[in-house]
Amino acid sequence: MNIEQVLQEAITCAIKELYMADAGASEITLQKTKKDFRGHYTLVTFPLLKISMKNPVQTAEEIGGWLAAHSPLISGYNVIKGFLNLSIAPTVWVSLLEQINTTPEYGFTPVTEDAPLFMVEYSSPNTNKPLHLGHVRNNLLGHALSELLKANGRRVVKTNIVNDRGIHICKSMLAWQKWGEGETPESTGRKGDHLTGDYYVLFDKKYKEELAALQAKGLTKEEAEEQSSLMKEAREMLLRWEAHDAATVNLWKMMNGWVYAGFDETYSEMGVTFDKIYYESQTYLSGKEEVLRGVEEGLFYRKEDGSVWADLTPYGLDHKLLLRSDGTSVYMTQDIGTARLRFDDYPINTMIYVVGNEQNYHFQVLSILLDMLGYGFGKGLVHFSYGMVELPEGKMKSREGTVVDADDLMVEMIDTARETSKELGKLDDVSAEEAEAISRMVGMGALKYFILKVDPKKNMTFNPKESIDFNGNTGPFIQYTHARIQSVLRKAGDQGIALPEKLEQTIPLSEKEEGLVQLLAEFETVVKQAGAEYNVSLIANYVYELVKEYNQFYHEYSILKEENTSLREFRLVLSQNVALTVKKGMSLFGIDVPDRM
């Protein structure tokens, strides 16, 4: 039973009976009643005044009176300045809890074979450095969005495009070739992506030293950059790679292999997976083919130096480079080729790119270029644009080696969770093995929740210390509430108390209990809204509100010691479904919730 839908139908009948008129859905505005007022739902009467031809208070009183007399849903009402606050009968909440209790997947829509297919691209790492905090937000958002789409009945293909070629890759390769002395992940005991990243940082250091030496001889910064032998070598290496030079390709394969092994470890620890991985080295040629076709068809143009450009001034933009003068590709070229290959591989209905908001222009241009090239899917691309993530100390820079490494961050989060849990006595009654599993759950839950609770469109500051707190809007607070409920249910089982599917209908419920059932029922609506808006933070905010309200109920009302058997059963069933809803909500984020804590 959807109470809001039934209530809306009853209000429609009331308006027809009272005013001999039909009211459209847009004119019936229902809201959740504010906490300061009595009631569950509030009808805003102002859109109905043209129909009633009366003032707001009179209109509200008449509709409220009709509903109280004719609808079994309504147990009472009150009017505040034209706002009609409606109280739902206690028996309705009991029936609704029964319905939720017998529907384990309540709030989730099953995925069918003919459901629309969404492809979600996320991660998109470069193979010249390990994953960092920015990648963590990207991966967590992409994974959560994919799970949210599935919960809304969509088929989903989770995909990754690995940027495994280009001048940045050559910088790491050249630095290793010059100064690596043959070291490997095995010889150093260092993860392959970290080792390769060290050489990317080393290249930048040596490059800056070279520029400083040239500028000391009287050259300008621009002249020094032009004469840099190190950058020249990197460019020449890229050209050799594109020409399939065997030695260069073998070096590239070896170092990329190190990085992929490192990435796999990081993804596994993060709980992130992909259904299909594309590689820029395999897609950029398709992009070049499309760009050259565009030149032949007069869609794009060549400059005298041989570079290829698109004139986007008719779209209110500028001219966009598509191929450099030496024939090498840019990111846009690769994305054109990847898009074509993806739509060849899958019957995609919607393609979503999870990429930071600094690339808003890039995806605006990609959409236009694909449309110019005659691909109907061009206009339908979705850029899931999200804000940057920083630390309290400020921005991170990969070249300077000042990024927060994803691996180090996850280890730190788990260590901090272990220490905090021990200090608070959360691990006193569990085995060492269970304590370690809980520490991992809490540490990773804290990281994921802290990042995903923020509206994706907003920039955010990640504070590890704030994220691991067993009070407030944090993952550990939610996890602890789940464990608390499981403890209550275990004790009920130990006392031989069975949870029934059918509940006594005439239980005297408190406002807090009715409010909790109302919140549980809203899970379905929140999942749909979050999916429609591509906003995973709505799930986090909902789950936090649910556990906050439950904890207030827990402290104010007895559960196992309640003498009224029917009321005790109701509270246990209510608790069980709060726990299940918390588990389902957090599962969308890849967050596990412990049964003991």
In DSSP notation, 146-205 reads HHHHHHBT-EEEEEEEEB--SHHHHHHHHHHHHH-TT--HHHHT--HHHHHHHHHHHHHH
At 455-488, the pLDDT tens digits run: 999 999 988 888 888 888 999 999 999 999 999 9
Distance (Å, whole) CA 457 – CA 126: 23
pLDDT value of residue 264: 97
pLDDT value of residue 401: 46
DSSP 56-119: HHHHHHHHHHHHHHH-TTEEEEEEETTEEEEEEPHHHHHHHHHHHHT-TTTTPBPP-TTSPEEE
Amino acid 22 reads D
Strand, coil or helix: 468: coil
At 338-378, the pLDDT tens digits run: 999 999 999 999 999 999 999 999 999 999 999 999 999 99
pLDDT value of residue 395: 47
pLDDT value of residue 400: 47
pLDDT over 70 at 1, yes or no: no
pLDDT value of residue 396: 41
pLDDT value of residue 65: 95
Q: What is the pLDDT confidence band of residue 551, given thresholds at 50, 70 and 90?
A: very high
Neighbour-count burial of 397, counting CB atoms closer than 10 A to its CB (0-12 exposed, 13-18 middle, 19+ buried): exposed
pLDDT value of residue 265: 97
Give the list of residues 6+ apart from residue 497 with CB closer than 8 angstroms, or none.
560, 568, 569, 572
pLDDT value of residue 392: 76
pLDDT value of residue 150: 98
CATH superfamily of domain region 3-88: Arginyl tRNA synthetase N-terminal domain (3.30.1360.70)
Strand, coil or helix: 474: coil
Residue 347, phi-psi category: left (phi > 0), alpha (psi -120 to 50), beta (remainder) = beta
* Pairing relationship of beta strands 319-323 and 308-311 according to DSSP bridges: antiparallel
pLDDT over 60 at 398, yes or no: no
* Pairing relationship of beta strands 350-356 and 319-323 according to DSSP bridges: unpaired
> Across residues 398-419, what is the average pLDDT?
80
Report the run of H or E that residue 533 belongs to, with start and end: helix 511-533
Strand, coil or helix: 356: strand
Contact (CB, 8 A) for 443 and 584:
no
At 158-176, the pLDDT tens digits run: 999 999 988 999 999 999 9
Distance (Å, whole) CA 335 – CA 284: 8
Please say whether the dihedral angle defined by the alpha carbons of residues 109, 113, 118 and 123, taken in this order, is positive or negative. positive
The 10 Å Cβ neighbour count of residue 16 is 13
pLDDT over 70 at 402, yes or no: no
Which of 405, 347, 336 has the alpha carbon at shortest distance from 374?
336
Strand, coil or helix: 503: coil
Domain ranges of the chain: 3-88, 122-390, 410-587
Which segment of 261-275, 281-295, 417-431, 432-446 scores lowest on mean pLDDT? Answer: 417-431
Amino acid 552 reads Q
CATH of domain 122-390: 3.40.50.620
DSSP 225-237: HHH-HHHHHHHHH
pLDDT value of residue 471: 86
> Across residues 524-542, what is the average pLDDT?
97
User: Rounded to an integer, what is the distance from CA 409 to the centroid of its chain?
Assistant: 19
Q: What is the DSSP letter of 498?
A: P
Distance (Å, whole) CA 476 – CA 479: 5
Q: What is the pLDDT confidence band of residue 49, given thresholds at 50, 70 and 90?
A: very high
At 129-148, the pLDDT tens digits run: 999 999 999 999 999 999 99
Residue 507, phi-psi category: left (phi > 0), alpha (psi -120 to 50), beta (remainder) = beta
Which of 11-20, 409-418, 536-545 is predicted most confidently? 536-545
> Is 410-587 in CATH node 1.10.730.10?
yes
List the Cα angle 592/593/596 in 5-degree steps.
135
Please provide the average confidence, as pLDDT, over all residues in the chain: 93
pLDDT value of residue 64: 94
pLDDT value of residue 431: 85
Here the tokens at position 268 are: 């596994």
Contact (CB, 8 A) for 77 and 85:
yes
